[in-house]
């Protein structure tokens, strides 16, 4: 495919009606969006309310959809009659006299509870799934791929709040604390749809208070995230993707309980029994020639089968033995894939097949 230059891209985009597209998407997929925005619980002082929650939230949604970086910039850019007419159209009102100042929006967002925003996201994800327009992105036509990983949100040199996670850096020789870092992390579950990702569940990793004996961590947050995911999407066929941190017994059990499939990175030494099984499977592979190659997106996954009295002779997917070990490379390069096969600490484990 011919690559287009930035100039060509700009000229192409200038002909596009982004707001028209926004309206189309909203009408097609999220007909009740404004209704849902109106249902968000407002914790502001009732005596000072000039704008409904739906106006404040729509401004933030549009700010982010349009890639406007700062709140100040948003107030400047939206404060035009054409923009206000468009906003009124989305909100299904006749006219908007004024738009709120960003201080008003910040004040509202500070008091807004996370679960209120999560309700909007749940509604949107459920609508997308209901429309069945994303089915072709299911893994093996069956499972929704959900990647789980933690990421850092904020970092401070001094304690910023009672929920901060804390890390002390010590002098190697004296053991004396030379620096303390305070930070906030979040664990995200993202639904992977082709080359797009949609946030489907969020769990903040933070301490209950300053004096906790054991800090909150990614594994603990995963247990809370799992409960959320399961209660919101109880029957969704899921395959969980995660790094080597998740390749451990408690997580396997959680996945098994929820009937979730999984693909996790595996690090040599983290679970020795699986490593032993992996090597055993490779031996079986040589004697059985039952390899199956599966291609999905850019990843190539090669599965090893092994002999078991429950193995269906016709084979392929009918292996009932639960544990399967695969070599998994995130690249198109076959050479790279081959190298990974022999590299013991880069294989992943899965129960997909
Ligand atoms: Zn904090």
CATH number, domain at 189?
A: 3.30.420
- pLDDT for position 40: 94
- Please report the DSSP string for 46-90 in residue order: GGG--S-HHHHHHHHHHHHHTT---HHHHHHHH-SHHHHHHHHHH
Indicate whether 341 pLDDT > 80: no
Whether 166 and 245 map to the same domain: the answer is yes
Whether 98 and 181 map to the same domain: the answer is no
Whether 255 and 280 map to the same domain: the answer is no
- The most confident of the ranges 18-22, 72-76, 349-353 is 72-76
| 144 Cα: distance to centroid of ligand 1 (angstroms) | 34
Question: What single-letter DSSP state applies at residue 213?
Answer: S
Report H helices in 233-350: 249-258, 272-288, 334-342
- pLDDT for position 347: 40
| 105 Cα: distance to centroid of ligand 1 (angstroms) | 22
Whether 260 and 158 map to the same domain: the answer is yes
| 102 Cα: distance to centroid of ligand 1 (angstroms) | 24
| 266 Cα: distance to centroid of ligand 1 (angstroms) | 32
Residue 201 sits at φ, ψ, to 5 deg, of: -155, 150
**328 found inside a domain:** yes
Lowest mean pLDDT among 45-49, 59-63, 212-216, 267-271: 267-271
| 166 Cα: distance to centroid of ligand 1 (angstroms) | 9
Whether 190 and 280 map to the same domain: the answer is no
- C-alpha distances in Å from residue 83, one per residue of 11, 25, 62, 348: 22, 18, 11, 50
Domain boundary among 265, 300, 318: 265
Domain boundary among 211, 235, 265: 265
| 183 Cα: distance to centroid of ligand 1 (angstroms) | 6
| 157 Cα: distance to centroid of ligand 1 (angstroms) | 11
Pairwise pLDDT comparison (235 vs 296), residue with the higher score: 235
**86 found inside a domain:** yes
| 159 Cα: distance to centroid of ligand 1 (angstroms) | 6
- Average pLDDT for 327-332: 34
**5 found inside a domain:** no
| 299 Cα: distance to centroid of ligand 1 (angstroms) | 38
Indicate whether 102 pLDDT > 60: yes
| 182 Cα: distance to centroid of ligand 1 (angstroms) | 7
| 242 Cα: distance to centroid of ligand 1 (angstroms) | 26
| 72 Cα: distance to centroid of ligand 1 (angstroms) | 25
Indicate whether 96 pLDDT > 70: yes
Rounded Cα gap, residues 157 and 183, in angstroms:
9
- Average pLDDT for 302-320: 33
| 184 Cα: distance to centroid of ligand 1 (angstroms) | 6
- pLDDT for position 65: 85
Whether 225 and 171 map to the same domain: the answer is yes
- Average pLDDT for 107-116: 92
Lowest mean pLDDT among 15-19, 85-89, 204-208: 15-19
| 163 Cα: distance to centroid of ligand 1 (angstroms) | 5
| 154 Cα: distance to centroid of ligand 1 (angstroms) | 8
| 205 Cα: distance to centroid of ligand 1 (angstroms) | 11
Whether 155 and 228 map to the same domain: the answer is yes
Whether 248 and 278 map to the same domain: the answer is no
Q: Please give the residue range of the domain that contains residue 79.
A: 17-116
Indicate whether 189 pLDDT > 90: yes
Confidence of residue 296 (pLDDT cuts 50, 70, 90): very low
| 165 Cα: distance to centroid of ligand 1 (angstroms) | 7
Whether 72 and 141 map to the same domain: the answer is no
| 180 Cα: distance to centroid of ligand 1 (angstroms) | 13
| 338 Cα: distance to centroid of ligand 1 (angstroms) | 45
| 161 Cα: distance to centroid of ligand 1 (angstroms) | 4
Q: What is the pLDDT of residues 217-250, one digit of tens each?
A: 999 999 999 999 999 999 999 999 988 888 888 8
Confidence of residue 157 (pLDDT cuts 50, 70, 90): very high
Whether 172 and 200 map to the same domain: the answer is yes
Whether 282 and 322 map to the same domain: the answer is yes
- pLDDT for position 34: 94
Cα diameter, the chain: 78
Pairwise pLDDT comparison (5 vs 27), residue with the higher score: 27
Lowest mean pLDDT among 8-12, 135-139, 169-173, 239-243: 8-12
**147 found inside a domain:** yes
| 152 Cα: distance to centroid of ligand 1 (angstroms) | 12
Total count of domains within the chain: 3
- Average pLDDT for 61-69: 88
CA 171 to chain centre: 37
| 71 Cα: distance to centroid of ligand 1 (angstroms) | 22
With tokens 């890639």, the residue in question is 67
**6 found inside a domain:** no
**124 found inside a domain:** no
Whether 65 and 142 map to the same domain: the answer is no
| 185 Cα: distance to centroid of ligand 1 (angstroms) | 10
**337 found inside a domain:** yes
Domain boundary among 245, 265, 285: 265
The residue among 44, 113, 17, 47 whose CA lies nearest residue 55 is: 44
| 158 Cα: distance to centroid of ligand 1 (angstroms) | 9
């Amino acid at each position: 495919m011919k690559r287009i230059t930035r100039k060509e891209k700009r000229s192409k985009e200038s002909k596009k009606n982004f707001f028209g597209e926004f309206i189309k998407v909203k009408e097609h997929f999220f007909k009740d969006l404004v209704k849902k925005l109106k249902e968000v619980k407002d914790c502001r002082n009732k005596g000072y309310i000039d704008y409904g929650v739906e106006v404040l939230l729509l401004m933030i949604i549009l700010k982010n959809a349009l890639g406007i970086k700062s709140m100040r910039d948003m107030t400047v850019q939206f404060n035009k009659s054409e923009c206000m007419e468009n906003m009124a159209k989305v909100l299904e009102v006749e006219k908007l006299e004024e738009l709120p100042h960003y201080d008003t929006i910040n004040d509202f967002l500070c008091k807004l509870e996370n679960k209120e925003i999560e309700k909007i996201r749940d509604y949107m994800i459920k609508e997308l799934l209901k429309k069945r327009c994303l089915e072709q992105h299911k893994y093996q036509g069956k499972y929704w791929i959900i990647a789980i990983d933690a990421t850092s949100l904020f970092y401070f040199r001094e304690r910023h709040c009672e929920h901060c996670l804390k890390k002390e850096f010590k002098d190697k020789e004296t053991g004396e604390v030379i620096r303390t870092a305070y930070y906030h992390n979040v664990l995200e579950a993202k639904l992977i749809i082709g080359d797009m990702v949609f946030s489907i569940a969020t769990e903040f990793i933070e301490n209950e208070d300053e004096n906790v004996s054991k800090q909150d961590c990614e594994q603990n947050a995963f247990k809370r995230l799992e409960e959320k995911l399961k209660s919101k999407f109880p029957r969704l066929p899921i395959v969980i993707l995660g790094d080597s941190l998740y390749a451990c017994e408690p997580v396997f059990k959680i996945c098994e309980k929820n009937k979730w499939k999984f693909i996790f990175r595996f690090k040599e030494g983290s679970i020795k029994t699986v490593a032993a099984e992996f090597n055993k499977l490779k031996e079986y592979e040589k004697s059985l020639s039952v390899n199956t190659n599966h291609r999905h997106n850019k990843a190539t996954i090669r599965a090893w089968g092994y002999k078991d009295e429950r193995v269906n002779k016709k084979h392929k997917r009918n292996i009932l033995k639960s544990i399967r070990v695969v070599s998994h490379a995130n690249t198109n390069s076959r050479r790279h894939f081959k190298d990974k096969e022999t590299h013991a600490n880069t294989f992943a484990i899965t129960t997909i097949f």
